[in-house]
Amino acid sequence: MSTRTEKFNREMQRELGVIFQSRTHDWFEGAFITVTEVTASPDLGYIKVYLSLYNTKNREATMQNVNLYNKHIRKELAGKIKHSVRIIPELAFFEDKSLDNVNKFEKIFDNLAKEREDRENKKHDKDS
């Protein structure tokens, strides 16, 4: 990935984060949405935006809401970056589930550690 694309990705992540933060109550019913990653196409005309969702009961509904407001988000983004880019990129939003995967694996490892401890305790009880 070129330096130009990396800078562009960071700028888009920052600007989109500000938009989501400012519109959390207006558009997203109080859901706390963070932009975890932005990946731009080589021509910078299309970006994939990965979002983490917090403080929401229904993640699917929140993502539908994000996609519903896609044009509004793009318009706000255009107002912020219009002087630094030639074209305003098309936006595609995806839920970033990496944090969920981390939590799932932590639970699995905790359960394995507990099972091992229980087995060792039973073994020590038999030896006593």
Same domain, 79 and 103: no
CATH number of domain containing 75: 3.30.300.20
pTM of the model: 0.74
Q: Which two tokens stand for residue 74?
A: 């793009």
Domain span at 29:
3-96
Please tell me whether residues 103 and 61 are part of one structural domain.
no
The answer to whether residues 65 and 15 belong to one domain is yes
Using CB atoms within 10 Å of the CB of residue 20, give its burial: 0 to 12 exposed, 13 to 18 middle, 19+ buried: buried
The upper half-sphere exposure of residue 22, i.e. CA atoms within 13 Å in the direction of its Cβ, equals: 10
pLDDT digits (tens), the chain, 128 positions? 688 889 999 999 999 999 999 988 888 888 888 999 999 999 999 999 999 888 888 888 889 999 999 999 999 999 999 888 888 999 999 998 776 666 676 778 778 888 888 887 777 776 66
